[in-house]
Amino acid sequence: MSDIDYLSLFTRFNGFRLIARINRVGCDNDLARCAHDRLVAKLGELIELMTRAIEAKRCLQDGGDPARAEQAAEDLYWIEAEFEHRWIGQAQPLLDHLDTDLATQEIFDPRTKRWYALAESGPSLREVSDQSLCGLRQIIDQITCETGVSFHAHRIVYGSIEAVPSGC
């Protein structure tokens, strides 16, 4: 069984979600508001995952119905796998993201719906400054430090020109 403290993570994610909501009030641009909204949504997903894990652990500890306990053990296995592979295994994008196919050495640009060879002068990602994010980077760094879950806030750029935001 895992040594992940789901209750502690549940509490921390709820606290960070509250901090992000409060920090959003001071945002002076749409990009920062969008990044805050997406962080709040992703923290909501994590909170829901932690809730399911806590419920499964309680079911296992109750020692009641064996079939129910077996289902709880399987649920807990898949919750742990999702947490470690989806949330801990890679930084979660809050703004733009480029998919890279390592086998073909290509990057997919979601804006142009085109694959670019890594050697081409295709799109790349540029980190958005903390000032542009209205202090969100400090919150993101603290989340990573305390929970191991990391987020990034990048924009797609072509050469030295930043792409026009789509949606936010």
List, for residues 2-37, the tens digit of each pLDDT value.
689 999 999 999 999 999 999 999 999 999 999 999
List, for residues 153-162, the tens digit of each pLDDT value.
999 887 766 6
Gap between the Cα atoms of 105 and 112, Å rounded: 18
Task: Give the pLDDT confidence score for residue 84 in this predicted structure.
Answer: 94
Give residue 128's domain range.
6-162
Residue 167 falls within a domain, yes or no? no
Residue 119 falls within a domain, yes or no? yes
pLDDT band of 163, cuts 50, 70, 90: low
* Total domains present in the chain: 1
- What value does the mean pLDDT of the chain take? 90
pTM over 0.85: yes
Residue 110 falls within a domain, yes or no? yes
Task: Give the pLDDT confidence score for residue 168 in this predicted structure.
Answer: 66
Residue 19 falls within a domain, yes or no? yes
Residue 115 falls within a domain, yes or no? yes
Gap between the Cα atoms of 42 and 117, Å rounded: 31
Gap between the Cα atoms of 21 and 165, Å rounded: 22
Residue 1 falls within a domain, yes or no? no
List, for residues 61-109, the tens digit of each pLDDT value.
887 788 888 999 999 999 999 999 999 988 999 998 888 888 888 888 8
Task: Give the pLDDT confidence score for residue 161 in this predicted structure.
Answer: 64
Gap between the Cα atoms of 33 and 25, Å rounded: 8
Residue 152 falls within a domain, yes or no? yes
Residue 146 falls within a domain, yes or no? yes
